[in-house]
Amino acid sequence: MSQLIGYIMRLVGYALVIGIPARLAEWLWEQRHLDAVDLLQAPHANTILVLEIAPFVLALFGFGRLRNLAVFIALVLDGALLTAPFALARLAAPGMS
Q: What is the pLDDT of residues 82-94, one digit of tens each?
A: 888 778 777 776 5
Indicate the domain borders of the chain.
Answer: 2-92
pTM value is 0.75
- Spatial distance between the Cα atoms of 91 and 97, rounded to a whole number of angstroms: 10
- Spatial distance between the Cα atoms of 7 and 10, rounded to a whole number of angstroms: 5
pLDDT score of 56 more than 50: yes
Q: What is the pLDDT of residues 25-41, one digit of tens each?
A: 888 888 878 888 787 78
- Spatial distance between the Cα atoms of 92 and 37, rounded to a whole number of angstroms: 7
> In the prediction, which pLDDT does 42 show?
82
HSE-CB at 44 with a 13 A cutoff on CA atoms is 19
